[in-house]
Amino acid sequence: MPDIYAHHAKTIDGRSVSLGAWRGRVLLIVNTASKCGFTPQYAGLEALHQKYAARGFTVLGFPCNQFGAQEPGDENEIANFCKLTYDVDFPMFAKVNVNGDGADPLWQDLKKQAPGLLGSEAIKWNFTKFLVDSNGTVVDRYAPATKPEALAADIEKLLP
């Protein structure tokens, strides 16, 4: 199984980047949506990003429209919503599929490395979170209902 740094992703503004750009950082990778009951978690994700960025932590947001069509906009609309509504400064990416035959390869790997309840690999809803250590290993998976602030202690354990 390739480490997460072997993957490339398209940023929300259309550039292809290697996840190797974040090598050595602790990451929280999240599938997001703008019209979901969990959308207010953007504020908590941004707070974590701001609190720990200087210590080597980054949130990576991947919009997804697979759950209740709760991310219907294009990348420009998503970027504007995130900036204007939650002042999101962490990296955001182009929309991806996280489940099914067309699932993004990064998300296929994340699900294999950290299956959900009862070993299920499927993502159940928006705002599923994967915590990745500074070596690129997935160390935990969190349910959509888990608030970002509840992850602080787990993040701190991985930071220098």
User: Has residue 158 got a pLDDT over 60?
Assistant: yes
pLDDT for res 16? 97
pLDDT, tens only, 21-63: 999 999 999 999 999 999 999 999 999 999 999 999 999 999 9
Q: Rounded CA gap, 81 and 137, in Å?
A: 31
**Which residue range is the domain that position 56 belongs to?**
4-158
pLDDT for res 119? 72
Q: Which two tokens stand for residue 121?
A: 């690999």
Side chain identity, residue 145 = A
Number of domains in the chain: 1
User: Has residue 3 got a pLDDT over 90?
Assistant: no
**pTM of the predicted model as reported, rounded to 2 decimal places:** 0.96
User: Has residue 120 got a pLDDT over 90?
Assistant: no
Question: What integer best gives the mean pLDDT of the chain?
Answer: 95
pLDDT for res 151? 98
Domain CATH number, residue 61:
3.40.30.10
Which DSSP string do the residues of 1-47 spell out, in sequence order? ---GGG-EEEBTTS-EEEGGGGTTSEEEEEEE-SSSTTTTHHHHHHH
* 80 contacts: CB under 8 Å, gap ≥ 6: none
> Among this protein's residues, is 82 annotated catalytic?
no
Q: Which of 12, 30, 36, 94 is catalytic?
A: 36
Q: For 9, phi and psi rounded to 5 degrees? A: -140, 155
Q: Rounded CA gap, 97 and 92, in Å?
A: 15
